[in-house]
């Protein structure tokens, strides 16, 4: 069973320890992703500027590298991750009101190739949304999941040596997060050449090769 996502914080400043945990695993992934994934670039750029004194001042910008695209994107992303977590799928459907209310924000995400939107001739609202960009899924994880969980996942990937295989299904059961969220991390490591994904169309296995 997938664990419920962490509640979104709307006020106050996050404790420095929580910030450091988040930075530890996410910046590690950002360094690996590099310029191959569009949402990783702001993290790589900011990494060199971060220190303990400046961290609190910059954490809001750091956590929201795509929020500038449209004002509705934080809420859209929260809803999308909730559906990803509950359905454990990257092919999502929503009611028509969702598409009408957030049409411009969704269009901004699609323009940046962070999602693809299924449309039909003669239909005014989309049929569904596909999470096609791994780094966007990782971004969602930074916002709405328990950070210790993904720190553990990244450490597991870092320790995956040549010929060793990780299974997203088994990791999902042990970590309590969606298989497709785990697969997004696999895909980022694969794109850098550290391993390869396998397991048919779903690609739920990752084997290290470096």
Domain residue extents for the chain: 73-130
pLDDT digits (tens, 9 = 90+) for 56-80: 444 445 456 677 788 999 999 999 9
Dmax of the chain from CA atoms? 55
Per-residue pLDDT band for 106 (boundaries 50, 70, 90) equals: very high
> Who has greater pLDDT, 202 or 50?
202
Residue 147 pLDDT: 80
Residue 96 pLDDT: 94
Residue 42 pLDDT: 54
> Who has greater pLDDT, 118 or 69?
118
Name the token pair of 78: 């929260």
pLDDT digits (tens, 9 = 90+) for 139-198: 888 888 888 888 899 999 999 999 999 999 999 999 999 999 999 999 999 988 899 999
Residue 89 has pLDDT above 60, yes or no: yes
Residue 46 pLDDT: 46
Mean pLDDT of the region 129-140: 91
Question: How far does Cα 114 stand from its chain's mean position?
Answer: 10
| Torsion-angle region of 207 (φ positive above 0: left; ψ -120 to 50: alpha; else: beta) | beta
Q: Report the share of the chain in percent with pLDDT over 70.
A: 69
Residue 19 pLDDT: 40
Residue 200 pLDDT: 77
Q: For helices 103-111 and 73-87, what crossing angle results, to 10°?
A: 80
Residue 39 pLDDT: 57
- The residue to which tokens 């360094």 are assigned: 31
CB 166 within 8 A of CB 26: no
Question: How far does Cα 164 stand from its chain's mean position?
Answer: 24
């Amino acid at each position: 069973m997938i664990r419920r996502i962490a509640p979104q914080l709307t006020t106050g400043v996050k404790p420095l320890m929580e910030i450091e945990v988040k930075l530890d695993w996410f910046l590690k992934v950002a360094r690996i992703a590099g310029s191959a994934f569009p949402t990783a670039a702001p993290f790589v750029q900011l990494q060199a500027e971060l220190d303990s004194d400046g961290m609190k001042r910059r954490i809001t910008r750091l956590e929201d590298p795509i929020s500038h695209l449209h004002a509705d994107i934080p809420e859209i992303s929260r809803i999308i991750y909730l559906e990803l977590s509950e359905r454990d799928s990257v092919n999502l459907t929503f009611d028509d009101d969702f598409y009408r209310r957030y049409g411009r924000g969704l269009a901004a995400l699609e323009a940046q190739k962070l999602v693809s939107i299924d449309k039909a001739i003669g239909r005014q609202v989309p049929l569904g949304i596909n999470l096609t960009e791994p780094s966007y899924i990782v971004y969602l994880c930074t916002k709405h999941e328990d950070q210790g969980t993904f720190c553990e996942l990244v450490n597991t990937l870092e320790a995956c040596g040549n010929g060793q295989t990780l299974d997203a299904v088994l990791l999902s059961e042990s970590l309590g997060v969606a298989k497709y969220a785990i697969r997004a991390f696999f895909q980022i490591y694969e794109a850098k050449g550290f391993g390869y994904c396998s397991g048919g169309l779903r690609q739920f296995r990752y084997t290290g090769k470096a």
